[in-house]
Structure 1
């Protein structure tokens, strides 16, 4: 299939979009109550396009898919009338629209996306679930799905890293799992120190490499912080031996080197990947690429980029971008 063109639609595209909506929704099974999509007109669609915008997908100038945006919520971008020509479904049209819609939500400063899906359409539910959208609520046959967008932020100094961690601390609650990734010296422990300071837990917070896990109780009325280093663990089964389940519901758990190991601890987690821009790699013994030796701790000289991705239903409706990028 040739490349698709995804167009920012305006009122001038209303005729083509309403035609796709009618053909797409008209090919669906009979629903009770019926969808109101068949009531759309070129005038009603043009009004939405003028107010909130939408997308039109074309190939060789032929309309193949469309959706309308909904700006009724300040923190999220809504998707309405997601429609694909029934003759060319399962060819990536819907996926292309969703990708551009998520980019649009980011450009508009939204934390995430919401939409409604009919419970009688299991294939549609599966489509959104595969793209990491999660059910939020249900009103009759309408299930609201949502997704929180991931983000990347440049962190030039250790102080900035701790400030970022303090912002994350505003969002966490008991039972949360944070999985940290990054080379030695990238700043994982610096982040955890900032998180612990903001949570007002007992310190000091240092790398738990040799004890594998430390629990830092709260000095106030908040949750404890469980700090885990999974570097020396051989596999997911070894993380079970740490008995983290005993504290998982009451604590905020941070697992360094936890990618591929710690995700089993919860259906929801926040992954943080720290990339050092321009730094020389350091091996586990502290031997740098040029053969010299140094500490395995954080290198203050190079800026970092922290990529934060939410996983699972816990993070739907969390104002991640607006809190961490403001």
Structure 2
């Protein structure tokens, strides 16, 4: 199925209204009811006339929609819905991807979900949104716009993602990896190492705290650090690494809250299970957030 998402205005109010109502009417009854169900076509037309919206079609048939509502530096996504017959065809994902592009210049995307719908909240969390406020029955979730969310189906896909990130790395870069035990941090680092062309098998550095992998292609070395047993990142100075961190790409596992002092610029990579209840699944969600001036030109295009 071919999913196409286009920006729309007041001229598509009738179609958007039909899509939103079909989507919200299929949801469990809420008390109080969702405001989308009482909104008239004329009211929705006014919303679309102010800031526009997005309409998704599958093979030409209207399938999903949302309304854009900028507030300050935040772009709120309102009336997000996919008609029941078109669910599970990646329509919502396509709408979110298009919303990221439509919100260029804003700091983040924000949605408001109902706390009675935990599956809906989980969906937004899987797309990189995090709860920032709860005012029952509403839960507000936000995703920084400079965070890219990738889904790696297996270990090979995780290595491929690391390899594609490596194409934009240079000496002095810092990568901070977070994720639970077995999430795929070392697998991602193996992809980085392959992309950088370094020598030696990349394995978990747990028992040695840090390893240096020299380049075989004249590029920077890869310093692979496990911060789990470090009392503080300043202890890196005591590791007697045979390379300067300014001359290497440094990857710090379990580094959140410790490695930030190494550099004002870093690439934060968070890896979590796509389905936390399915421990056998290899599928992971990878959130990549560039932080600091070094990464302003970092491109998400071409990452896989």
Counterpart Cα distance in 2 of 1:181 and 1:136: 32
> Any stretches of 5+ residues in structure 1 without a counterpart?
153-179, 190-228, 248-253, 273-305, 313-318
| Aligned CA distance change for structure 1 residues 60 and 149 (closer, same or farther; 3 Å) | same
Give the deviation of 1:242 after TM superposition.
3.0
Counterpart Cα distance in 2 of 1:87 and 1:51: 30
Kept in 2, the 8 Å contact 1:135–1:143? The answer is yes
1:289-304 matches, within 5 Å, as none
Q: Deviations over 1:27-49 (max 9, x none)?
A: 11111111111012221111111
Partner of 1:87: 85
Structure 2 residue corresponding to 1:244, chosen from 232, 246, 257? 232
Secondary structure (helix, strand or coil) at the match of 1:137 reads strand
More contact order relative to length (CA 8 Å, sep ≥ 6): 1
Kept in 2, the 8 Å contact 1:148–1:310? The answer is no
Kept in 2, the 8 Å contact 1:149–1:309? The answer is no
Kept in 1, the 8 Å contact 2:22–2:83? The answer is yes
Counterpart Cα distance in 1 of 2:82 and 2:259: 33
Partner of 1:177: none
Moved over 6 A (4+): 180-184, 233-236, 267-270
1:138-287 matches, within 5 Å, as 138-150=134-146, 186-188=171-173, 232=212, 238-244=226-232, 257-259=249-251, 261-262=252-253, 264-266=254-256
Partner of 1:24: 23
Give the deviation of 1:123 after TM superposition.
1.2
Pairs aligned (count): 207
Q: Deviations over 1:232-257 (max 9, x none)?
A: 39966x4334322899xxxxxx9974
> Any stretches of 5+ residues in structure 2 without a counterpart?
149-164, 175-208, 214-222, 236-244, 272-290, 298-304
Give the deviation of 1:183 after TM superposition.
8.5
Partner of 2:302: none
Partner of 1:42: 41
Kept in 1, the 8 Å contact 2:172–2:250? The answer is no
1:117-128 matches, within 5 Å, as 117-128=113-124
Secondary structure (helix, strand or coil) at the match of 1:99 reads helix
Structure whose CA Rg is larger:
1
Query: RMSD of the alignment, in Å?
Result: 4.1
Give the deviation of 1:230 after TM superposition.
5.1
| Aligned CA distance change for structure 1 residues 13 and 50 (closer, same or farther; 3 Å) | same
Pairing 1:100–2:98 present: yes
Secondary structure (helix, strand or coil) at the match of 1:18 reads helix
